[in-house]
């Protein structure tokens, strides 16, 4: 288990380091202004779907159904064709009506800004069908316990964007956004190429292409399996996508605030997402095939043993990350972004938002782990109900905080929704099961270690304060 976690974490770390270099260059080239807002708007919707598909939601819905299927090849081909067709139709509609799609993403923008942003939205959307194919192939690789390709391939997107920024050096802001938009598409193509190569190397071509070959002949024998999958897919995706939808709504609400608010939220959320992806998402991806297999074979004791190990592994890492992120928020933001067009005011605004986000790191991360249990037991509808209550909490608190707190209020609302979701997930997981996990001496070590780390970081912060203005 820990080997797979390490593989995922290391791949995600490489990708996120490149991602921060990309964001550093973006902040330096564009700062936090109308054009940076436009790019983040254009990339928001395809990036939302990337997180929904690529960071576990699709896999957690598809893999249990795939594992139980008696006709895996035909079943997988059917799912692939249906979903890719829908996604291609949506992509074509966005390219035909880009202004309408832009209005749906950021209603608060004025007509002139929408007109400028629309072509970039259309370009970025071609990333969506590419990332769906990548995720589908990635799920087949994960079924064979191959995680490295998917973990490291996301770095290719960041490399493409870095290259786009480099090639657009000394050009106008509009041209920089244009280059970056095509960089997103190029990154998706590169990700697809390496996954096709991995599928071929793992000997999965026969399974994949055999399904397409016999789909017309054998489509009737998988009708029951596909109906069951479709009935569970949307609740599963919805249940695992609250954080991503909340992030999308951040952009919607922030479009009514001052220029730069969308960029502040983006930069702060990028920092917040690092430990979440590095630890929680990497662990969930690695653990899910094992937990699903044990529960399928009615071996709940072994499944719970793996859950317990993963829980404490995450609890220590996420607690340390929360303390570090909150206390050193200003220093982290200053180090990563304050250069070029990104000034001191931008650092201050981003810092406050980051602190509001980071408070929710522990509940968001641990909830991702507990959700595995629900999906492995095919409790997708229960997870969807939890997501709905969490999203309603987010909307309620966003509307309450947006006027007095601005963009930082949106981040705080997201954090509160994370706590709501975590509490409801514990109830679904089983309070007795949860208490069995936390009734451990490790809890004392966790509290003691958190206090010591807080004191140490405050000392370090005071020392650094004399060097950082």
Instruction: Give the residue-averaged pLDDT of 400-428.
Output: 93
**Structure tokens that stand for 381 in this block:** 């509808």
pLDDT score of 304: 87
Q: How confident is the model at residue 8 (pLDDT cuts 50, 70, 90)?
A: low
**Structure tokens that stand for 98 in this block:** 């880009």
3-state helix, strand, coil in the chain (%, to 5): 85, 0, 15
pLDDT score of 317: 93
pLDDT score of 52: 65
| Summary mean pLDDT of the chain | 83
Instruction: Give the residue-averaged pLDDT of 59-87.
Output: 80
pLDDT digits (tens, 9 = 90+) for 234-276: 777 776 666 667 777 877 788 788 777 888 898 898 889 888 8
Flag whether pLDDT at 395 surpasses 90. yes
Say which residue, 9 or 120, is predicted with more confidence: 120
**Structure tokens that stand for 277 in this block:** 């992806």
pLDDT score of 176: 87
Taking the whole predicted model, whether its pTM rises above 0.85 is answered as no
Say which residue, 381 or 247, is predicted with more confidence: 381
C-alpha distances in Å from residue 217, one per residue of 38, 220, 225, 226? 48, 8, 16, 15
pLDDT digits (tens, 9 = 90+) for 139-176: 888 777 777 787 788 889 889 999 998 898 878 888 88
- Count CB neighbours of 84 within 10 A: 14
C-beta pairs of 94-102 under 8 Å, 24+ apart in sequence: 94/121, 94/122, 94/125, 95/122, 95/125, 95/126, 98/122, 101/45, 101/125, 102/41, 102/42
pLDDT score of 3: 63
Instruction: Give the residue-averaged pLDDT of 284-310.
Output: 80
For residues 407 and 410, what is the distance between their CA atoms, to the nearest angstrom?
5
For residues 364 and 294, what is the distance between their CA atoms, to the nearest angstrom?
25
C-beta pairs of 341-347 under 8 Å, 24+ apart in sequence: 341/27, 341/28, 341/29, 341/30, 341/31, 341/32, 341/33, 342/27, 342/28, 342/31, 342/32, 343/31, 344/469, 346/27, 346/31, 346/32, 346/260, 346/263, 346/264
By the 8 A CB rule, do 354 and 331 touch?
Answer: no
Instruction: Give the residue-averaged pLDDT of 10-19.
Output: 78
For residues 72 and 85, what is the distance between their CA atoms, to the nearest angstrom?
20
Closest CA to 96 of 118, 128, 81, 75: 118
Contact residues for 280 (Cβ-Cβ < 8 A; gap 6+):
314, 318, 364, 365, 366, 368, 369
The upper half-sphere exposure of residue 442, i.e. CA atoms within 13 Å in the direction of its Cβ, equals: 17
**Which ranges constitute the DSSP H helices of 168-204?**
173-201
Flag whether pLDDT at 286 surpasses 90. no
- State how far Cα 423 lies from the chain centre: 21
pLDDT score of 120: 87
pLDDT digits (tens, 9 = 90+) for 199-245: 888 888 877 777 777 676 666 777 777 777 777 777 777 766 666 67
Flag whether pLDDT at 344 surpasses 80. yes
By the 8 A CB rule, do 145 and 287 touch?
Answer: no
Q: How confident is the model at residue 2 (pLDDT cuts 50, 70, 90)?
A: low
Instruction: Give the residue-averaged pLDDT of 409-415.
Output: 93
For residues 70 and 67, what is the distance between their CA atoms, to the nearest angstrom?
8
pLDDT score of 413: 94
For residues 139 and 143, what is the distance between their CA atoms, to the nearest angstrom?
6
Say which residue, 188 or 254, is predicted with more confidence: 188
Q: How confident is the model at residue 372 (pLDDT cuts 50, 70, 90)?
A: confident
Alpha-carbon Rg of the chain, whole angstroms? 22
pLDDT score of 451: 92
pLDDT score of 51: 64
């Amino acid at each position: 288990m820990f080997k797979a976690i390490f593989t995922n974490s290391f791949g995600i770390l490489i990708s996120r380091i490149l991602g921060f270099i990309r964001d550093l260059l973006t902040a330096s080239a564009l700062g936090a202004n109308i054009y940076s807002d436009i790019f983040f708007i254009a990339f928001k919707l395809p990036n939302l779907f990337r997180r929904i598909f690529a960071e576990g939601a699709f896999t957690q819905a598809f893999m249990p159904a795939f594992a139980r299927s008696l006709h895996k090849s035909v079943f997988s081909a059917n799912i692939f064709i249906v979903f890719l067709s829908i996604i291609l139709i949506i992509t074509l509609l966005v390219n035909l009506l880009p202004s309408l799609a832009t209005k749906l993403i950021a209603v608060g923008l004025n007509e002139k800004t929408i007109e400028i942003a629309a072509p970039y939205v259309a370009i970025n959307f071609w990333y969506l069908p590419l990332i769906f194919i990548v995720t589908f192939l990635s799920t087949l690789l994960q079924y064979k316990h191959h995680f490295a390709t998917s973990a490291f391939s996301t770095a290719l997107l960041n490399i493409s964007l870095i290259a786009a920024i480099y090639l657009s050096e000394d050009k106008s802001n509009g041209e920089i956004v244009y280059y970056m938009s095509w960089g997103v598409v190029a990154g998706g193509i590169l990700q697809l190429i390496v996954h096709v190569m991995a599928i071929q190397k793992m000997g999965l071509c026969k399974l994949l292409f055999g399904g397409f070959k016999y789909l017309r002949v054998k489509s009737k024998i998988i009708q029951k399996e596909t109906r069951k999958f479709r009935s569970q897919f949307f609740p599963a995706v919805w249940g695992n996508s609250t954080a991503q939808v909340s992030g999308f709504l951040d952009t919607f609400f922030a479009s009514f605030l001052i220029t730069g608010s969308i960029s502040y939220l983006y930069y702060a959320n990028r920092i917040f997402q690092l430990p979440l992806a590095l630890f929680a998402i990497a662990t969930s991806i690695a653990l899910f095939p094992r937990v699903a297999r044990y529960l399928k074979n009615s071996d709940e004791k072994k499944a719970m043993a793996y859950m317990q190990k993963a829980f404490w592994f995450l609890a220590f890492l996420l607690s340390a990350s929360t303390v570090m992120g909150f206390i050193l928020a200003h220093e982290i933001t200053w180090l990563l972004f304050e250069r070029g067009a990104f000034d001191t005011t931008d650092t201050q605004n981003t810092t406050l938002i980051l602190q509001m986000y980071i408070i929710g790191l522990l509940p968001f991360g641990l909830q991702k782990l507990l959700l595995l249990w629900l999906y492995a037991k095919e409790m997708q509808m229960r997870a969807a109900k939890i997501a709905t209550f969490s999203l309603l909490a987010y909307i309620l608190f966003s509307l309450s905080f947006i006027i007095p707190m601005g963009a930082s209020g949106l981040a705080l609302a997201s954090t509160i929704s994370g706590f709501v979701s975590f509490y409801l997930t514990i109830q679904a997981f089983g309070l007795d099961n949860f208490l069995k996990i936390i009734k451990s001496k490790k809890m004392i070590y966790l509290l003691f270690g958190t206090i010591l780390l807080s004191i140490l970081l405050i000392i370090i912060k005071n020392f650094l304060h004399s060097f950082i203005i």
